[in-house]
Amino acid sequence: MNAICTTCGVQYAESPNLPDCCRICADERQYIGIDGQKWTTLDELRREYKTSSHAEEQGLTSFWMEPRFAIGQRAFLIETPSGNVLWDCISLLDEPAIEYVRRRGGIDAICISHPHYYTAVVEWSREFGNAPVYLHRDDAEWVMRPAPCIQFWDGEVKNIAGGLRLIRCGGHFAGATVLHWPEASGHKGALLSGDTIQVVPDRRFVSFMWSYPNYVPLPARAVQRIIDAVEPYEFDRIYGAFPKMTVAQNGKDAVRRSAERYLRAIRDGLDTQR
Ligand SMILES: [Zn+2]
Ligand SMILES: [Zn+2]
């Protein structure tokens, strides 16, 4: 079987036995669930969950699991004239998702922001012609289901189909990446930002953390590095990791403003009364 951790949603390599514990959840950025380590399988998920999808804008569809499972993130299908790209991934691949993606022309490449969303990516790749899966090499140790479809990339920027580019920002993970799509948002550009640049409930802002569930911040130099990595690119909209968490416009200002606030908060605090 290929066990799936119910806390982070990652699928493990084929094995007759369950893993002892989930390596991704044993890491300090995650956690073992309150009831201890629990496992499931893709077949069980298909019985208990379904995928939902939403057309976000021309050429962009988001997918997520209902009811909410594990971390609860969304994945995106990006359609470009030179091919379709899946950004981030979820633990479930069911008939409605397969049919939807097939009608849109399938998947030519898959890119994932960081290990928390590696999930069942090998299943998605297999279903769509063994589409190549681009992961940053600095996070290679976190791949729990190795497969020939996985291609590690190095360095700071990787250009992929349709003018899309992957930008390594680091921070949350060494290889944490965002995807830049210049043609989105009426040619004003969009970032698909995973947990690397987190869209927060006040959607005029974003944030940056080493651990989100355990509230561990990043140092100033790591936040500055993220800002510097995206500074050369224009983007209006930011699609965050979770359903509806989207900065609708002025995304680049939101990132700058949020970084300034974050740096003030970790240096001196924001309470001006003191
Ligand atoms: Zn896990
Ligand atoms: Zn994460």
Integer Cα distance of 132 and 129 in angstroms = 9
Kindly tell me if the per-residue pLDDT of 274 is higher than 60.
Answer: no
Average pLDDT of 216-236? 98
Over residues 10-64, the pLDDT tens digits come to 999 999 999 999 999 999 999 999 999 999 999 999 999 999 999 999 999 999 9
User: 3.20.20.80, 3.40.1360.10, 3.30.360.10, 3.60.15.10: which CATH number matches 4-267?
Assistant: 3.60.15.10
116 CA → ligand 2 middle, Å: 5
pLDDT given at position 58: 97
Average pLDDT of 233-240? 98
Q: How buried is 204 (Cβ within 10 angstroms: 0-12 exposed, 13-18 middle, 19+ buried)?
A: middle
243 CA → ligand 1 middle, Å: 21
pLDDT given at position 248: 97
12 CA → ligand 1 middle, Å: 10
pLDDT given at position 270: 87
Kindly tell me if the per-residue pLDDT of 226 is higher than 90.
Answer: yes
Nearest ligand to the CA atom of 38 = 1
5 CA → ligand 1 middle, Å: 5
Q: Which pTM does this prediction carry?
A: 0.97
Domain spans, the chain: 4-267
Listed in sequence order, the DSSP H helices in 145-205 are 184-187
pLDDT tier, 272 (very low <50, low <70, confident <90, very high otherwise): low
Integer Cα distance of 159 and 165 in angstroms = 4
Integer Cα distance of 17 and 14 in angstroms = 9
Give yes or no for a contact between 228 and 220, defined as CB atoms under 8 angstroms apart: no
Four-residue CA torsion sign, 26, 29, 35, 40: negative
Over residues 70-109, the pLDDT tens digits come to 999 999 999 999 999 999 999 999 999 999 999 999 999 9
